[in-house]
Amino acid sequence: MPHSRFAFALLVFAASSALARDVPRPAVVRADAGVAAIADGPIRDPAGVQGYAVHEWGVFTIQPDLEMANAALAAEWAGCPRELYRTEPPNLRNLPWRGEVGKPLVYFHWQADGPPPEQGLTMKVRFPAGRPVIWWPASQEGEGNPHRKVHDSLSWRLYLRPSPDGPANVKPRAPAVTADHWYAKARMVKAEPVVSWGGHARGAHLDAEQFVYYDGLMTPLAFLRARRTATGNLVLDNTAPYPLHELWCVDHTGDTRTGPGPRLARVPLVPVGTKEIVPEWRVVPAADWAAATAEQFAADLEKTGLHADEARSLVAIWQPGFFHAPGLTLFYRLPQREYDRVTTIALDPVPETLVRVGIVLHAHAEPERAAAKQQSGGGAATPAELARPVGPQMQPLGLEKVLTVAEAEKLAVTNHDLSLFGLSSLAADVAATLAPHRHTLRAPGIVHLNAEVAAALARHVGPVDLPDLRRLESVDLARRLAMQDNAYALVAASEFAPDVAAALVSSEHWIGRQPRLAVLSPEVAAILAASRKWDGQLPGVTELTAADSVAVAAALATRPGVLALPNLKKISPKTLSALIEKQDVEIPRIETLELIPEPDGSPTDDFVVPEGFQQR
Q: Report the pLDDT value the prediction gives residue 145, as an integer from 0 to 100.
A: 56
Q: Report the pLDDT value the prediction gives residue 447, as an integer from 0 to 100.
A: 82
Q: Report the pLDDT value the prediction gives residue 25, as an integer from 0 to 100.
A: 32
pLDDT top residue among 235 and 161: 235
Q: Please provide the DSSP assignment of 307-357 as one string.
A: -HHHHHHHHHHHHHHHHS-SEEEEEEEEPHHHHHHHSEEEEESPEEEEEEE
Please tell me the distance from the alpha carbon of residue 426 to that of residue 399, in angstroms, as a whole number. 12
**Range from 105-114, 384-393, 400-409 carrying the lowest mean pLDDT:** 384-393
Instruction: List Cβ neighbours of 515 (8 Å cut-off, separation of 6 or more).
Output: 23, 24, 25, 26, 491, 537, 539, 540
Please tell me the distance from the alpha carbon of residue 75 to that of residue 557, in angstroms, as a whole number. 57
Q: Is residue 367 part of a domain?
A: no
Q: Supply the DSSP symbol for 292.
A: I
Q: Calculate the CA 611 to chain-centre distance.
A: 41
Q: Report the pLDDT value the prediction gives residue 396, as an integer from 0 to 100.
A: 36
Residue pLDDT, tens place only, 560-616 = 988 999 999 999 999 999 999 998 899 998 888 999 999 999 888 777 777 666 666
Please tell me the distance from the alpha carbon of residue 97 to that of residue 112, in angstroms, as a whole number. 43
Q: Report the pLDDT value the prediction gives residue 120, as an integer from 0 to 100.
A: 85
Q: Chain-wide mean pLDDT for the chain?
A: 77
Q: Is 23 in the same domain as 171?
A: yes
Q: Is residue 340 part of a domain?
A: no
Q: Is pLDDT at 265 greater than 90 in this prediction?
A: yes
Q: Is 210 in the same domain as 260?
A: no
Average pLDDT over residues 529-557: 94
Q: Report the pLDDT value the prediction gives residue 351, as an integer from 0 to 100.
A: 77
Q: Between β-strands 213-218 and 99-110, what pairing exists: parallel, antiparallel or unpaired?
A: antiparallel
Most confident among 378-392, 404-418, 422-436, 571-585 (mean pLDDT): 571-585
Q: Is pLDDT at 552 greater than 70 in this prediction?
A: yes
**Range from 26-35, 71-80, 332-341 carrying the lowest mean pLDDT:** 26-35
| The domain boundary residue, chosen from 186, 218, 250 | 218
Q: Is pLDDT at 15 greater than 50 in this prediction?
A: no
pLDDT top residue among 335 and 149: 335
Q: Is 405 in the same domain as 495?
A: yes
Backbone angles phi, psi at 477, to 5 degrees: -70, -40
Q: Is 264 in the same domain as 169?
A: no
| The domain boundary residue, chosen from 175, 190, 218 | 218
pLDDT top residue among 122 and 605: 122
Please tell me the distance from the alpha carbon of residue 129 to that of residue 242, in angstroms, as a whole number. 18
Q: Report the pLDDT value the prediction gives residue 166, as an integer from 0 to 100.
A: 55
Q: Is 506 in the same domain as 405?
A: yes
**H/E segment holding residue 492:** helix 488-492
Q: 329's torsion region: left (phi>0), alpha (psi -120 to 50) or beta?
A: beta
Q: Is pLDDT at 336 greater than 50 in this prediction?
A: yes
Single pTM value for the model: 0.57
Q: Report the pLDDT value the prediction gives residue 72, as an integer from 0 to 100.
A: 67
For the chain, report the end-to-end CA distance as a whole number of angstroms: 52
**Among 59, 85, 3, 27, CA closest to 331:** 59
Q: Is 327 in the same domain as 403?
A: no
Q: Is 23 in the same domain as 70?
A: yes
Q: Is residue 576 part of a domain?
A: yes
Torsion angle of the four alpha carbons 324, 325, 328, 334, in this order, in degrees rounded to the nearest 10: -80
Q: Is 428 in the same domain as 289?
A: no
Residue-number span of the structural domain to which 266 is assigned: 224-332
Q: Is residue 43 part of a domain?
A: yes
Counting the structural domains of the chain, the total is 3
Q: Report the pLDDT value the prediction gives residue 387, as an integer from 0 to 100.
A: 32
Let me know: does 136 contact 85? Beta carbons within 8 Å.
Answer: yes
Residue 76 binned pLDDT confidence (cut-offs 50, 70, 90): confident
Residue pLDDT, tens place only, 280-315 = 999 988 888 888 999 999 999 999 888 899 889 999
Residue 548 binned pLDDT confidence (cut-offs 50, 70, 90): very high
Residue pLDDT, tens place only, 214-243 = 888 876 777 899 998 888 888 999 999 899
Let me know: does 313 contact 189? Beta carbons within 8 Å.
Answer: yes
Residue 513 binned pLDDT confidence (cut-offs 50, 70, 90): confident
Residue 13 binned pLDDT confidence (cut-offs 50, 70, 90): very low
Amino acid identity of residue 599, one-letter, is P
**H/E segment holding residue 11:** strand 6-14
- What are the start-end ranges of the E strands in 33-98? 35-38, 43-44, 49-62, 85-86
**H/E segment holding residue 614:** helix 611-615
Q: Report the pLDDT value the prediction gives residue 385, as an integer from 0 to 100.
A: 34
**Among 420, 427, 334, CA closest to 56:** 334
Please tell me the distance from the alpha carbon of residue 556 to that of residue 493, in angstroms, as a whole number. 19
Average pLDDT over residues 82-108: 62
Q: Report the pLDDT value the prediction gives residue 457, as an integer from 0 to 100.
A: 93
Q: Is 545 in the same domain as 584?
A: yes
**Range from 88-97, 165-174, 339-348 carrying the lowest mean pLDDT:** 88-97
Q: Is 152 in the same domain as 261?
A: no
Q: Report the pLDDT value the prediction gives residue 379, as an integer from 0 to 100.
A: 45
Q: Is 214 in the same domain as 228?
A: no
Instruction: List Cβ neighbours of 131 (8 Å cut-off, separation of 6 or more).
Output: 150, 151, 152, 216, 217, 390, 391, 394
Q: Is pLDDT at 38 greater than 60 in this prediction?
A: no
Q: Report the pLDDT value the prediction gives residue 147, as an integer from 0 to 100.
A: 55
Please tell me the distance from the alpha carbon of residue 265 to that of residue 331, in angstroms, as a whole number. 11
Q: Is residue 372 part of a domain?
A: no
Please tell me the distance from the alpha carbon of residue 396 to that of residue 408, in angstroms, as a whole number. 14
**Range from 24-38, 259-273, 354-368, 483-497 carrying the lowest mean pLDDT:** 24-38
Percent of the chain with pLDDT over 70: 74
Residue 276 binned pLDDT confidence (cut-offs 50, 70, 90): very high
What value, to the nearest 5°, has the Cα angle with vertex 75 and ends 70 and 76?
A: 100
Please tell me the distance from the alpha carbon of residue 57 to that of residue 358, in angstroms, as a whole number. 6
Please tell me the distance from the alpha carbon of residue 82 to that of residue 91, in angstroms, as a whole number. 18
Q: Is 36 in the same domain as 181?
A: yes
Please tell me the distance from the alpha carbon of residue 108 to that of residue 211, in angstroms, as a whole number. 7
What value, to the nearest 5°, has the Cα angle with vertex 578 and ends 473 and 41?
A: 70
Q: Is pLDDT at 154 greater than 80 in this prediction?
A: yes
Omega of the bond leading into 137 within 30 degrees of 0 (cis): yes
Q: Is pLDDT at 19 greater than 90 in this prediction?
A: no
Q: Is residue 363 part of a domain?
A: no
Q: Is residue 346 part of a domain?
A: no
Q: Report the pLDDT value the prediction gives residue 9, as an integer from 0 to 100.
A: 42
Q: Is residue 189 part of a domain?
A: yes
Please tell me the distance from the alpha carbon of residue 286 to that of residue 271, in angstroms, as a whole number. 32
Overall size of the chain counted in residues: 616
Average pLDDT over residues 456-464: 91
Q: Is pLDDT at 210 greater than 70 in this prediction?
A: yes
